[in-house]
Amino acid sequence: MRKKLRLLGIFSVMTVFCLIISGCANIQADFTFNKDGSITSQHIIEISSMIDKDNLETQKAADSKNGYEVKEISNGYTATKTVASIHPIVGGTPVFNPNEYFNGVQVHKGLLYDYYSFDLFKKGEKADIPKANYQTNIPGFFSPDVTMNIWQYMDYRRQAEEQTRQMNQMADQATKAAVDSMKINITFNLPYSVDDSNADIKTNDNKTLTWDLKPAFLNNQDISIQAKFKIYHENTIIALLISGIFLLIIAVVLFVLGLIKWQDHKKRNLFLSLTAILLIIVAGSAAWCKRSIDNPPQLTMADRIVSETAKDSDGKPLLDTLRNTQEIPLNSLDTAQKTLFSKGSNAEITAVSSTDEDGFLALGTLDSKLYFIIYDAKDGSTALVPYNPNVLNYREHFISFNDGKKHYDPMIFLLQVSEKNNSKDKILGVWDGARHTIPIYVVFKLGDDGRVIPGMITSGQGLKPSHYQAALQEPKNVELVNIVPTHINSLRADIKGRNIILPNK
């Protein structure tokens, strides 16, 4: 009987294992940016035999109708299409049209190159991975086929329960292996090395950028896709080089003529003057070209490409929202940097919120780590918050109600302050010498003007408390924490205006 149990169990688990492994999925979206400005879009879809093939056929037919060249592959297909510019791709790809709190796709056309900037966002989703649940009372599977007394049945039952536990464990491991083997990627193939990017993988001399989107679809992790790069106008650059060489040759000839006519002061001065003018033109043009390449243009909303069907954060047409939004001037980094230096902070800031009587919130690096940096003007104190994208993108995490109102998830972050161990919050978080790291949980709401109004601030013991039930009591710490939600909008706008590349974690 025990042998029969084990054979049936192994057979069932292996059957499930084969079904899962045979169905690992591969979803790959590739965008190849060609030197002539055209873009080749290709997506590869390979799916499990366990997934409804009708959906695959429907998607394949839609791609074919939209002008893609479709080719069959094992368990799926590839679809390829080349378009003359980025506009059709933005118009047909929802992820390329994030709301007004991101820069989306921006393109600035210039003489030497076209400058591309991508600031895209994919909100995390939680996927419920099914758990195996073999029951010990499945008729015909764990039912004994012989007559037995109560003690024999209890022994049989213990065997059956142990067998089902092993079967569930094996099946769950097989499911995890299948999920881990899945691939959901987006890749940019560039003709030149990228200027900056937060890609997960950079290969081919930083010309191939790959982002892993699987955490966004399975693990509820927000993913941003950011990249800045140039597509050079090679024909224009070659023409300028040839023109420069030609002018230099003329300048040399004129200089030689000036030497030959050295005794003829009038001709000598004319030839040398023309030589100087040509050299100035060549040198000035070369300096301008180098400066243009080393200093890309500051992009604005006018450079953004938006689909006509894209929606803003309230579900309204995104184009209308962007048209009605005024450009916000960048905040002064120098003043904030000097303030932090005067308080003993060595952090180098790259963006900062507006400054008011409460202080400011900055983004910067310290010891190669990225932080939010808090300055409390009332107390003259500073604090650090390890960078957390969920804090910056808090508007993307909410529950919508039928009346259109939104209930936002609380802001959760770590506050790092220097204080004495007689602090009223001394039992919270963890201590490392004089550095006190406190886990923070801030409930908030938005006012009618979009300002964040902080509410209850709670904390707990350790860095990752299971419950945030203790109220923050130290007044200085409360003031520092409040600066985060009240200044996060202004900081976000400054980061957006500076097109800063940020990590996903």
Span 467-480, pLDDT tens digits: 999 999 999 999 99
- pLDDT, greater one: 349 or 156: 349
Split into its structural domains, the chain has a count of: 3
β-partners of residue 76 are 46, 73
pLDDT of 143: 56
pLDDT of 322: 93
Percent of the chain with pLDDT over 90: 65
The verdict on 172 and 282 lying in the same domain is no
Would you say residue 243 lies in a domain? yes
Would you say residue 322 lies in a domain? no
- pLDDT, greater one: 261 or 224: 224
pLDDT of 16: 39
Last residue of a domain, one of 210, 231, 252: 231
The runs of H, that is alpha helices, within 110-263 are 150-181, 214-218, 234-260
The verdict on 51 and 161 lying in the same domain is yes
The verdict on 160 and 61 lying in the same domain is yes
pLDDT (mean) for 351-367: 96
Nearest CA to 160 out of 15, 2, 13 is that of 2
pLDDT of 3: 44
Rounded Cα gap, residues 274 and 502, in angstroms: 51
The verdict on 263 and 337 lying in the same domain is no
- pLDDT, greater one: 112 or 422: 112
Mean pLDDT of the chain: 87
The verdict on 399 and 429 lying in the same domain is yes
Would you say residue 150 lies in a domain? yes
What residues make up the domain containing 466?
333-497
The predicted model scores a pTM of 0.84
Would you say residue 263 lies in a domain? yes
The verdict on 432 and 371 lying in the same domain is yes
Rounded Cα gap, residues 294 and 72, in angstroms: 45
Each as own residue / partner, the long-range contacts of residues 7-11 (CB below 8 Å, 24 or more positions apart, any chain) are 8/141, 9/134, 9/163, 9/164, 9/166, 9/167
pLDDT at 308 over 50: yes
pLDDT of 400: 84
Residue with tokens 């949980």: 441
The verdict on 226 and 257 lying in the same domain is no
pLDDT of 245: 96
pLDDT of 175: 67
Would you say residue 312 lies in a domain? no
Name the DSSP class of 324. T
